[in-house]
Structure 1
Amino acid sequence: MKEIPASGMLKKERHAYIINQINLHNKVLSSDLSLLLKVSEDTVRRDLNELSEKGKLLKVHGGALSKSFHFPYEQIDIYAQESKREIAKKAISLISEGMIVLTGGGTTMLEMARLIPDNLKATIFTISPLVALELAEREFLTVILVGGQLNKNSQVIMGSKTVRELSEIRVDLCFLGANGIDINEGITDSDWEVVQVKKAMIKSAARTVIMCIGEKLNSAQKMKVCSFNEIDFLITDLKSSNHKVQEYRGQVKVL
């Protein structure tokens, strides 16, 4: 998240900013919002409580989460859903017959799972039970859910058991979402456990694909997942001519 000039910001403006951060990053911390918005944590907590009561987010200890983690996919409004479908279409073009693939979780990954052709023969490992259930509908796919503890906030499998299992597999392609991506900071996240699992996923893969909507470009979180030299593809919803993706072309192949 980038600091904003928030002096004198009205409550309505704070709420709009918080919702935007939730949409982009799926999770916000009260402490971070307090610094960014230049208000007390008590004010942030009141804002989060109000937004939770209005059904805009899910209040959790220390912050808030996107509702997309906790409601049936068909019953929620997916932020930038058309953009995420465009990313998913590009991602599927990288998957060939007989490949072994590994995926993370999140709404973009679910869009990809939904678009995978019914006749594709491949093996797909995933840390997301929701992605696994979607892929289970495909007759010719072998779907393997990586073991470990279910994180109730993010609805993905993580922990030391997950990292250990990932160290024992080798896949052709790994698809990951990005909480933050910046030309100088690389790929970043706000959750230490998530960072460890993503690192293990990248190590298990011959090639790694980062998938993110264009709005996330040039944003950074506190914890580093990897540098661009560990990434092979960056897929966004933006056109190749868009100025926001041009600076990344020297670091990674952009689709």
Structure 2
Amino acid sequence: MSYMDLPARHKELLNLIGQKKRIPVSELSQSLSVSEVTIRKDLNQLAQQGYLRREHGYAVLLESDDTAKHLSFNHERKSAIARRAAISVCDGETVMIESGGCCSLLAEELVKTHKHITIITNSAFIAAYIRRQNGARIILLGGEYQHDSQVMVGPMLQRCVAGLAVDKLFIGTDGCNETGFMTNDEDRAAATQAMADHAKNIIILTESEKFLRTGRIPLIAYDRLAMVYTDDQLTGDTRTEMEERGVPLILARTR
């Protein structure tokens, strides 16, 4: 079952689990004002559908590169970020969009609200996700296919982008450190960097919690960024830290 087809309580459960990664059943019961018996039944259903893992007394987020799963967590915050970022795009514009939950929702928002938008992407997931939207014009870059993340990477992709030039590239991230944003996949880092070389403005879309994480591989240095869109749950300390590093921030309203 897709995220959009889930019952409202299941969506709220996934949002709560997504925020903490591992959360007691008792806390979920209190947060949603339902019995622990009911919560356990809900969690068992979600575990069977592949959204989470059950441990004794706990629900645990499943780490996965599957973008469809990523959409299930913090969906409302991702949607708010996507809607705010979409304002920066004009009708008739051609943009590049990499992969991830926020990026997928941005692509959907653009084809719903803008006219004559062209989206260049290395994400087969995004191409499939928006394929039924009226007016969606998609250019899917070639390359080696990553099955879990459903993105194209490798030397062929680098050759595909060689002749391109766009004003904006939107990308996701796994975390950050003192010099820039990070990822956990070397091939995706190389693909993103190749796309970035052909974009005037590089823009990050990410939930506020990613500022508290790091990654294994550098993705984009702060001084190359035109803008970072995140949600309004970013802490004051983190916001000050980013501003001191010269990182331009726009916070999407979620409340």
Q: TM-score, length-normalised on structure 2?
A: 0.69
User: Where does residue 129 of structure 1 map in the other structure?
Assistant: 124
Report the 3-state secondary structure (helix = DSSP H, G, I; strand = E; otherwise coil) of the residue aligned with 1:232.
strand
Per-residue deviation, 1:65: 4.1
User: Where does residue 191 of structure 1 map in the other structure?
Assistant: 185
Per-residue deviation, 1:57: 5.5
Instruction: Answer whether contact 2:91 2:114 (CA < 8 A) is retained.
Output: no
Counterpart of 2:203 (choices 202, 209, 218) is 209
Residues in 2 aligned to 1:143 and 1:195: alpha-carbon distance in whole angstroms: 22
Structure 2 unpaired stretches of 5+: 1-16, 23-46, 54-61, 251-255
Residues 27-106 of structure 1: pairs in structure 2 closer than 5 A = 55-56=50-51, 65-66=63-64, 68-69=66-67, 78-106=72-100
Q: Residues 244, 162 of structure 1: CA spacing in aligned structure 2 closer, same or farther, 3 A cutoff?
A: same
Q: Residues 100, 88 of structure 1: CA spacing in aligned structure 2 closer, same or farther, 3 A cutoff?
A: same
Instruction: Answer whether contact 1:114 1:135 (CA < 8 A) is retained.
Output: yes
Per-residue deviation, 1:150: 1.3
Per-residue deviation, 1:168: 2.0
Per-residue deviation, 1:127: 0.9
Instruction: Answer whether contact 2:204 2:229 (CA < 8 A) is retained.
Output: yes
Q: Residues 119, 208 of structure 1: CA spacing in aligned structure 2 closer, same or farther, 3 A cutoff?
A: closer
Q: Residues 153, 229 of structure 1: CA spacing in aligned structure 2 closer, same or farther, 3 A cutoff?
A: same
Residues in 2 aligned to 1:84 and 1:231: alpha-carbon distance in whole angstroms: 20
1:178 aligns with 2:173: yes
Residues in 1 aligned to 2:210 and 2:234: alpha-carbon distance in whole angstroms: 16
Structure 1 unpaired stretches of 5+: 1-15, 22-51, 59-63
1:231 aligns with 2:249: no
Give RMSD over aligned pairs: 3.0
Q: TM-score, length-normalised on structure 1?
A: 0.69
Instruction: Answer whether contact 2:185 2:217 (CA < 8 A) is retained.
Output: yes
Structure 1, residues 228-248: CA drift from partner, whole Å, max 9, x if none? Answer: 111110110126884422321
Per-residue deviation, 1:218: 3.6
Q: Which runs of 4+ in 1 moved over 4 A?
A: none
Residues 109-188 of structure 1: pairs in structure 2 closer than 5 A = 109-116=103-110, 117-182=112-177, 184-188=178-182
Instruction: Answer whether contact 1:186 1:227 (CA < 8 A) is retained.
Output: yes
Per-residue deviation, 1:188: 1.0
Q: Percent sequence identity over matched residues?
A: 22
Query: How many residue pairs end up in the alignment?
Result: 200
Per-residue deviation, 1:110: 1.8
In structure 2, give the amino acid aligned to 1:66.
Answer: S
